[in-house]
Amino acid sequence: MNINFKKIEEKWQKRWEEAEIFNANPDNREKFFITAAFPYLNGVLHAGHLRTFTIPEVMARYQRMKDKNVLWTFGYHVTGTPILGLAELIKKKDEKTIWAYTNLHKVPKEDLLNLTTPEKIVEYFSKKAEEAFKKAGFSLDWRRQFTTNDEEFKKFIIWQFHKLKEKGLIVKGSHPVRYCPSCDNPVEDHDLLEGEDSTIVEYILIKFKMGDIYLPAATLRPETVFGVVNLWVNPNEDYVKVKVYDEEKKSEEIWILSKKAMNKLIHQNKKFEILEEFKGEKLVNLRAINPITNKEVPILPAEFVKTTVGTGIVMSVPAHAPYDYIALKDLNKLDEVGIIPLIKVPGYSEYPAKDVVEKYKIKSQKDVENLEKATKEVYKAEFHKGVLNENCKEYAGYKVREIKDKLTNDLIKKGYAEVMYEFSVERVRCRCGAECVVKLVKDQWFIKYSDKKWKELAHKCVDRMNFIPENYKKIFHEMIDWMKDKACVRRRGLGTKFPFEDGWIIESLSDSTIYPAYYTIVKYIKEHNIKAEQLTNELFDYIFLGKGDIEEIAKTTNIDKEVIENMRNEFIYYYPVDWRCSAKDLVPNHLTFYIFNHVAIFPEEFWPRGIVVNGYVTIENQKLSKSKGPLLPILEVVEKYGADVGRFYIATAAEIPQDADIKFSTLEKTKQFLERFYLLAKEIIDMKDNKESYIDKWLLSRINLHIKEYKNYMDNFELRKAGILIYEFLEDLRWYKRRGGNNKEILIKFIETLTLLLAPFTPHICEEIWEMLGKEGFVSLAKLPEVGEIDEEILKGEEYLKRLIEDIKEIIEVAKIKPNKIYIYTAEDWKCEVCEIVNKNRDKNVREIMKEIMKDERFRKKGKEISKLLNTIIKINAIPLDEEKILSQNKEFLEKEFNAEIVINGEDKGNKKRFAIPMKPAIYIE
């Protein structure tokens, strides 16, 4: 029973292409614009792409069958550094790269060694991607393809940046990066030997004063500044007195801090001139003034002070920091310097630090293990539940977590404090072996995502958008709140030249935010051979914003007025994007930028309408990896299992938000399933009989019920549920046959429906069957079936029979009887009446239903019995049915099933009749 899927697929792909049926042009139908985040082309399309792209592909086909005018297309992302880096690695014949690309990406070695420039790589992999899309049967409009390195597209990006700049959203500033001083370069995760998962943490330096000298105390808890009773230094470490020049503030000050800290701050916009070097002990017992409280405090020695973190100067807050508390006790100074409570925390005394030191039985500052635990506990409790007390001046009464940011900003604004960046882990090392530092990059260009007004617009957009799954609405709101300014230019890589300063290239996440708009017009640019230099800012203003004088623009750009008008109209027709689909990794970056940039540039009617976020893909429980594998290229799936199999499997392997695990054995099963479907269709088409029977109506009802459910599922992107429904169809067919159904007319309707519903998932095999059914035209363009009559009673009747069969079977098995005669007794009338009352009061709860029943005096007499009955009726969800009629109609069927005589409501054998309940008849077997 080998079916040549490959041949079928090629046949239909060719026909689709010849007929150009997926090319989209505006007309008077309702439009549907769906997009997926385009792929980055530093390799072949793999199983992850297959999932993320099959979701919109299936949806595009579904909507097309709902008679929508669907725009569905793709571009390629090529800007940035990875492709550049790949070209260099290939040129160098890097062993690991060669291995990965020949074995995982399946690039023949002779081809691979040729890919020594970014341009060649883009050309090669874009061809491969196109081949993969085509062989997977994607219904794309191929006239709209482009890459982000096309000169025409770059003009679009330049226009976008002008729009942002006009609104004041492109700004210059500095920002911290991980940096290797030895390589003199920022380092990315994969450049690191150690400390890959480190993040950059902001320490606050509170500048204590000693005359005109500052001692910057580094802290993560600036809110405790009100409770400082002394400062700590490490007596054995090296400290320096320095002249500090701040390059940003252009100011000069004298500081004392550890030598190590100075060496770090060199990278953070500061220049130093050493005036004096000494050991920490020299500072001991000097006094310094807290700039916030003006309180003078002594400087004391402590060994726990590390100079690898912070400045080597630490504020001491014994009420809330276990280290400080125990160190003061060690020195026997606690009484002398005092202890100031600041934060009230439920479950702790005035001095939480004291509580935990006692709780963990900490005896000295050398007990680091317990001190860490204690510190964590106090910090957590105080941050989450703590409220600042009256010692905290204007911040009194606020919760720590609410006021912390404001307090910090206030301190900085007033000049009492500065920011110092540190890694979250102690050691971060570059591949070259050198220790990395946090460097503050100067004169960097940013997109000002921190802008409050901008954020408000983004929130407004999110409020109106649809999200699949729904909880992403909340997540996007949070993303918008957390968004900081993003550096938008780089020195290296492919991409658009930054229009406002030479030497920069627009960073690749920033050049891919509003490109779906470009899809709507790129076909005109290609068709009319429009050159990059013709694509002026004024032209884009007109097309996307309706601004400017078209006559003028036509003249200056030398583009036909009509063409410009068409572009404008096509944009208006298809925009906004109805759904944007992506895997969840793009949520905190691309998808959020997508929203931001749309609301900044376009009027409200063109803001995004919806986002679909899908989970990841694993293969036999292994994460995908472009460099280590597994990868499973789309082309390999298509080759080994067939396009339809791959599509159906991946689209239904998991619900959208869940991660999907690809299992080869299940893929194999899917293949068998599709083969069965095809053979079944063939069998039905070849049928000669046309026997009508009672069960026909049941099957029709089931078909209609499934059509209805299918549409509900598909409209909500519940592809897995829609897929499972297809299997239910086959189960229905089994029951239909078992009940003696064999009506060709009905079965043709059955297979026709199934073909239509499967077509978005498995279009090739469906086209083939559609043709076998003698239908005109492509199933891809056919209309979905309407929902016909659903006869609830006949559905319930069959369900009743199924349940009865189950019951009888169970008795036979447990009692180990071989039945000769089966007696079936339906419930007495009064029980059916109760059942009816229950069904009429579905919306009420049990107690209320009981009240309703007890209105009748006859029932009141049977109080106890009724309450039991009521529970059972609810539990088995019984509805009133003419059971006796169903039984007698199907007596023959039951007799055949059990090979025994069936007696309906006959002599009460074994005193069983009294057990009968609506939809659960009593049974006696002999």
Question: Which positions from 648 through 687 interact with RNA, judged by CB under 7 A?
Answer: 654-655, 657-659, 661, 665-666, 669, 672-673, 676
- Our CA angle for 202, 207, 213, nearest 5°, is 140
Smallest gap from Cβ 444 to RNA, in A, equals 9
Maximum alpha-carbon separation in the chain: 114
Smallest gap from Cβ 616 to RNA, in A, equals 8
Which residue in 730, 748, 781, 903 binds RNA (CB under 7 A)? 730
Is the peptide bond preceding residue 576 cis, with omega within 30 degrees of 0?
yes
Tokens matching residue 13: 């792909």
Q: Is 175 in the site for RNA (CB under 7 A)?
A: yes
CA distance 838 to 642: 52
Closer of 368 and 876 to RNA (Cβ): 876
Q: Is 625 in the site for RNA (CB under 7 A)?
A: no
Smallest gap from Cβ 357 to RNA, in A, equals 20
Closer of 259 and 455 to RNA (Cβ): 455
Closer of 534 and 872 to RNA (Cβ): 872
Closer of 165 and 295 to RNA (Cβ): 165
Smallest gap from Cβ 413 to RNA, in A, equals 21
Helix (H, G, I), strand (E, B) or coil at 684: helix
280: Cβ contacts below 8 Å, ≥ 6 apart: 233, 234, 235, 236, 237, 238, 239, 258, 301, 305, 312
Q: Parallel, antiparallel, or unpaired: how do β-strands 417-423 and 200-210 relate?
A: antiparallel
Nearest CA to 876 among 830, 849, 926, 839? 839
Closer of 452 and 814 to RNA (Cβ): 814
Phi, psi of 593 (to 5 degrees): -60, -35
Q: Which stretch binds RNA (CB under 7 A): 163-171, 631-639, 695-703, 811-819?
A: 811-819
Q: Parallel, antiparallel, or unpaired: how do β-strands 579-583 and 610-614 relate?
A: parallel
Smallest gap from Cβ 169 to RNA, in A, equals 14
| Residues between 358 and 377 that touch RNA (CB under 7 A) | 376
CB 719 within 8 A of CB 612: no
Smallest gap from Cβ 81 to RNA, in A, equals 4
Smallest gap from Cβ 22 to RNA, in A, equals 27
Q: Which stretch binds RNA (CB under 7 A): 288-296, 404-412, 517-525, 913-921?
A: 913-921
CB 483 within 8 A of CB 455: yes
| Residues between 26 and 45 that touch RNA (CB under 7 A) | 40, 42
Which residue in 809, 840, 842, 851 binds RNA (CB under 7 A)? 809
The DSSP line for 356-391 is HHHHTT--STT-HHHHHHHHHHHHHHHHHH-EE-GG
CA distance 543 to 539: 6
**For RNA, what does the binding mask look like between residues 489 and 528, x meaning CB under 7 A?**
-x--x-------------xxx-------------------
CA distance 464 to 609: 7
CB 474 within 8 A of CB 462: no
| Residues between 209 and 228 that touch RNA (CB under 7 A) | none
| Residues between 460 and 489 that touch RNA (CB under 7 A) | 471, 474-475, 478, 482-487
Smallest gap from Cβ 121 to RNA, in A, equals 12
Closer of 414 and 676 to RNA (Cβ): 676
Closer of 155 and 671 to RNA (Cβ): 671
C-alpha pair distances (Å), 587 with each of 9, 475, 482, 660, 717: 35, 9, 13, 18, 18
Smallest gap from Cβ 477 to RNA, in A, equals 10
Which residue in 871, 882, 889, 908 binds RNA (CB under 7 A)? 871
Closer of 341 and 495 to RNA (Cβ): 495
Smallest gap from Cβ 618 to RNA, in A, equals 9
| Residues between 391 and 450 that touch RNA (CB under 7 A) | 449
Which residue in 817, 842, 868, 896 binds RNA (CB under 7 A)? 817
Smallest gap from Cβ 507 to RNA, in A, equals 5
Closer of 15 and 175 to RNA (Cβ): 175
Which residue in 380, 414, 460, 860 binds RNA (CB under 7 A)? 380
Q: Is 712 in the site for RNA (CB under 7 A)?
A: no
| Residues between 236 and 265 that touch RNA (CB under 7 A) | none
With tokens 């509003």, the residue in question is 514
Which residue in 2, 28, 529, 845 binds RNA (CB under 7 A)? 845
Which residue in 266, 748, 811, 903 binds RNA (CB under 7 A)? 811
Give per-residue burial for 287-322: e unless 16+ CB within 10 Å, then b: ebebbbeeeebbbbbbebbebebbbbbbbbbbbbbb
Position 38, amino acid: F
Closer of 336 and 456 to RNA (Cβ): 456
Smallest gap from Cβ 62 to RNA, in A, equals 20
Which residue in 177, 256, 554, 612 binds RNA (CB under 7 A)? 177
Q: Which stretch binds RNA (CB under 7 A): 150-158, 160-168, 572-580, 844-852?
A: 844-852
Smallest gap from Cβ 644 to RNA, in A, equals 16
CA distance 83 to 78: 7
With tokens 């770059």, the residue in question is 154
Smallest gap from Cβ 269 to RNA, in A, equals 16
Closer of 505 and 643 to RNA (Cβ): 505
Smallest gap from Cβ 913 to RNA, in A, equals 9
> Applying CB under 7 A, what is the total number of residues that bind RNA?
85
Is the peptide bond preceding residue 469 cis, with omega within 30 degrees of 0?
yes
The helix (run of H) or strand (run of E) holding residue 10 is helix 5-19
Q: Which stretch binds RNA (CB under 7 A): 316-324, 552-560, 582-590, 743-751?
A: 582-590
Is the peptide bond preceding residue 608 cis, with omega within 30 degrees of 0?
no
Torsion of CA 181, 183, 189, 194, to 10 degrees: -70
CA distance 879 to 835: 7
Which residue in 93, 876, 882, 892 binds RNA (CB under 7 A)? 876
Q: What is the 3-state secondary structure (H, E, C) of 194-245?
A: ECCCCCEEEEEEEEEEECCEEEEEEECCHHHHHHCCEEEECCCCEEEEEEEE
Nearest CA to 902 among 812, 818, 822, 807? 822
For the purposes of burial, counting CB atoms within 10 Å of the CB of 421, is it exposed (0-12), middle (13-18) or buried (19 or more)? buried
Q: Is 199 in the site for RNA (CB under 7 A)?
A: yes
Q: Is 350 in the site for RNA (CB under 7 A)?
A: no
Closer of 45 and 530 to RNA (Cβ): 45
Smallest gap from Cβ 804 to RNA, in A, equals 7
| Residues between 270 and 329 that touch RNA (CB under 7 A) | none
Nearest CA to 828 among 922, 926, 902? 922
Smallest gap from Cβ 738 to RNA, in A, equals 7
CA distance 438 to 198: 11
**For RNA, what does the binding mask look like between residues 58 and 97, x meaning CB under 7 A?**
-------------------x-xxxx---------------
Smallest gap from Cβ 551 to RNA, in A, equals 40
Give the torsion sign (CA, 874, 878, 879, 880): negative
Tokens matching residue 510: 């920033």
CA distance 575 to 609: 10
Q: Which stretch binds RNA (CB under 7 A): 272-280, 412-420, 428-436, 808-816?
A: 808-816
Q: Which stretch binds RNA (CB under 7 A): 530-538, 641-649, 857-865, 872-880?
A: 872-880
